[in-house]
Structure 1
Amino acid sequence: MDTSFYDSNLFIYLLLPGLIFISRIADVTIGTIRIVMVSKGHKLWAPILGFFEVLIWLIAITKIIENLDNWLCYIAYGLGFAAGNYIGLLIEEKLALGIVKLQIITKKEASKLIENLKAAGYGITHHNAQGANEKVSIIHSIIKRSEIKKVEAIVKTTNPKAFYSVEDIKFVNEGVFPIHPARFRMRKGK
């Protein structure tokens, strides 16, 4: 009997569904990151990622169509889609691209929190307001998304009961952002 490896049960029922699963993870992950790039206005990265997303998808769907009688390919396709969404969101969270608006509402006197945020290099706008039951202080700050954890730590240590919310922002024209020392510096003459 002269059968090729591609006609073997090992390939058809194990490796092919595995490859479809992996390709779906790849294309959906890329698609998730591409959508983030579009929403953040990255005009170069979005089409590049879109090209690879569709190319991988075409390869996967071609293998599905070639093997319509193999239900394991369908399962692998669906599982790959679900896993790709999850992995894409994890990667997007780690990239933490863009800027956000942070709004902090506190019943407690806000001067110490304002002082700590300013000391960390964050620009803030502050005003007093009337809440549902009492006077509150509202602090606004525009920060890099990658700085959210640092600001949350300042808020939680200074005023653990403060209410805060975070909103994505597509564009700002000016702002006060913490200055971090450069990790790599070019030396003149070298």
Structure 2
Amino acid sequence: MKDVLLILLLQLLYVPCFTLRTIFIVKQLHYHAASLGFVESLIYVLGLYLVLNGEQNLIAMFIYALGFGVGILIGISIEQKLAIGYTSLLVNLPNKNQLLIDLLRNEGYGVTVYEGEGRDSQRFKLEILTKRNQEDGLFSLIEEYEPNAFIISYEPRKFKGGFLLKTMRRRKIKRKNEIENTYM
């Protein structure tokens, strides 16, 4: 019974490492991926050793597989909380909502506005780049000021130049300090 619990624990460690390593490879975080690969392989060999050299009963094999499935869920959950990388939002608006555009810019987001022609009318498209961990807040902000917005989110793989997040952070800190000084 002790071996079965150890197998489950090892799988719950191994598979999140595997999941995160795969994500790190996709996001080109090579050193993070290599480090996790080392840990992952140690855990994998030990777990497999326990399964194959133990009594080889069906319960141990079932627990191994169960741990693998649950480990995937844990790995995905960890990655979503880390929210590594950037996201780009394309926001289609029926009207040019200058209040929303100004608010987004004042909040430190770089916003590029395009004017286009839809099937029935003129449309406006906003292009916004932000960190993935800020995506939900950005969605909420847009929905609050423009409930009819059509929003598409995707992850850019590489980018260079432009209104980068370092500048956005400095601007946000400056704005926060201005607000605090106003109320003091």
TM-score relative to the length of structure 1: 0.83
Report deviation, 1:58.
Answer: 0.8
Match of 1:127 in 2: 114
User: Structure 1: any 5+ residue segments left out of the alignment?
Assistant: 1-13, 182-190
Q: 1:139 to 1:67 in 2, by over 3 A?
A: same
| Secondary structure class of the residue paired with 1:16 | helix
- Alignment of 1:88 with 2:75, yes or no, is yes
More helix by share: 2
User: Where do 5+ consecutive residues of structure 2 fail to align?
Assistant: 174-184
Match of 2:84 in 1: 97
Of 23, 40, 48, the residue aligned with 2:27 is 40
CA drift of 1:131 comes to 2.4
Other-structure match for 1:152: 139
- The structural deviation recorded for 1:60 is 0.6
Structure whose CA Rg is larger: 1
The equivalent of 1:187 in structure 2 is none
Residue in structure 2 matching 1:142, options 115, 125, 129: 129
Provide, for residues 59-108 of structure 1, a one-character-per-residue CA deviation record: whole Å limited to 9, x for no partner.
11111111353111111111111111100011000101111111111113
Secondary structure of the corresponding residue to residue 69 of structure 1: coil
Q: 2:94 aligns with which of 84, 90, 107?
A: 107
Aligned counterparts of 2:27 and 2:39: Cα–Cα separation in 1: 19
Amino acid at match of 1:35: T
Mapped to 1, the partners of 2:56 and 2:36 lie a distance apart of 32
For 1:139 and 1:105, how far apart are their aligned partners in 2?
A: 7
Which residue number in structure 2 is paired with residue 75 of structure 1? 62
Answering whether residue 161 of structure 2 is matched by residue 176 of structure 1, we say no
> Match of 1:54?
41
RMSD: 1.7
Q: What is the alpha-carbon distance in structure 2 between the residues aligned to residue 55 and residue 100 of structure 1?
A: 34
Find runs of 4+ consecutive structure 1 residues off by over 4 angstroms: none
